[in-house]
Amino acid sequence: MKETYLIVGLGNIGPKYAHTRHNAGFDVMERIEQKLGVRLRKKLFFPGEIAETADGEKKIVLCRPTTFMNKSGECVRQLLRKYQCPPERMIVIYDDIDLPPGKVRIRKDGGAGTHNGMRSIVECIGKTGFPRIRVGTGDRPAGEDLVKWVLGRYTPEEKVVMDAAFDRAAESALCWVKDGIDAAMNAGNRK
């Protein structure tokens, strides 16, 4: 029986939020879909879009919650239950304003920090022991409203930097499935 690995990208559903700073997780998931040749689809009675594929003896499940960001944990809890997967075989991808734009940071585990999606996940599953990929979007300019900033879109110059980060994060997630978290951290964190 194949071991299941879950890759979850966080964001907000809908065109209003598409390709905003807060949807970096969704942008990375688009890259992973392209690399694996799959398409995320809505599942009945499940608060997320899912795609399944395999890499040798490993089953890979991609998930994009269809809840809003601050309710991401509801989807993740059901996902872990549905696939009977321990949290350490799940990697979560999300934006981080505390990292410079385009910086990718991969960790084995850790707290939720100030990210509402991660807070929701930690609250819902009661654990912090799962890998994560943070994609830096940079902090807001002085005096800028935080919500307006994270829900804003990239400038053309930022988009070039962020596209490279999305590709690196996608490659890191797939490296994690294939070779483990240490290999993913060595590859993704040093660039």
Long-range contacts of 137-140 (CB under 8 A, 24+ apart): 137/21, 137/22, 137/24, 137/95, 137/96, 137/97, 137/99, 137/101, 137/162, 138/97, 138/99, 138/100, 138/101, 139/97, 139/98, 140/97
| Rounded alpha-carbon distances, angstroms, from residue 67 to 64, 152, 166 | 9, 19, 22
Query: 25: burial class by Cβ within 10 Å (0-12, 13-18, 19+)?
Result: buried
Q: Which is catalytic among the residues 21, 22, 59, 115?
A: 22
Give the span between the Cα atoms of 71 and 52, in whole angstroms: 23
Please say if 22 is a catalytic residue.
yes
Catalytic residue numbers?
22
